[in-house]
Amino acid sequence: MVSDSIGFRQQIRSLGLRQRLLKVLSFLGLKTYRSSKSLGLSDRLHAYAQSVSLREPDILAQLRQETAQLPAGMMQVAPEEGQLLALLIQLMGAKKTLEIGVFTGYSTLAVALALPADGKTVACDISEEFTAIARRYWQKAGVDRKIDLHIAPALDVLDRLLAEGHANTFDFAFIDADKENYDAYYERSLQLVRPGGLIAIDNVLWSGNVAKPKKQDASTVAIRALNKKVHRDPRVTISLLPVSDGLTLALKRL
């Protein structure tokens, strides 16, 4: 296994970012991973559900269609998930939100469109390439002023926010980044979100791999561990929704 990992690292050194992402997904056994459709729904039922529920603004549809053309387009959240996030923002009357993992900015845009004029999203990602697409659509939608994008490791950004006194000030946090750091992102988010605030954790069903005992790659193991932890965590009230690739909602208790 060690020699396989060394060989894998040597293979990806000369590849571009998009090709590296696809290679990593393949190495982890996630060739069929998709967030663009809720797990367990047939194509016909999924199409029906969207036809009677989805109200996707044109700007979001354009971004989704452009992202779908990318080799790593499967990393994009499903439109029904973006719509759910926007609904949660409106239900909460949220004004200050946090996004850990941006990709091409679909979920960030969905949230920003739902925020009031004085709302703000702090977003973290490490990719200049993918967030350049995001910035273009945020500007086109006229919400770029609401989004404070940090191109840096998310844990560095979160720790800086805590050091600057932002604990218990965020209304909402969305976690959708590298899975091995999910526990750390969850713990930082719990500190940053106010009592009564909400944390949404994406990909908690991980293409069904969490229910397959033979799947022991680092990402699957990390998601399984966090799912168990959140289930037993007395600090939050939770619900796991089988939307897209699985979405856990964790309400920070008062």
- Which tens digits make up the pLDDT trace of 163-217? 999 999 999 999 999 999 999 999 999 999 999 999 999 999 999 999 999 999 9
Residue pair 248/204 in contact (Cβ under 8 Å)? The answer is yes
Residue 13 confidence (pLDDT) above 60: no
The rounded distance, in Å, linking the Cα atoms of 244 and 50 is 12
Dihedral angle sign, alpha carbons of residues 44, 45, 46, 48: positive
Q: Report the DSSP beta bridge partners of residue 148.
A: 122
List CB contacts of 8: < 8 A, sequence separation 6 or more. Answer: 23, 27
Task: Render pLDDT for 122-155 as a digit per residue (tens, 0 to 9).
Answer: 999 999 999 999 999 999 999 999 999 999 999 9
pLDDT tens per residue, range 218-254:
999 999 999 999 999 999 999 999 999 999 999 999 9
Q: Report the chain's C-alpha Rg in angstroms.
A: 18
Most distant CA pair in the chain, distance: 53
Single pTM value for the model? 0.86
Position 37 confidence tier, pLDDT thresholds 50, 70, 90: low
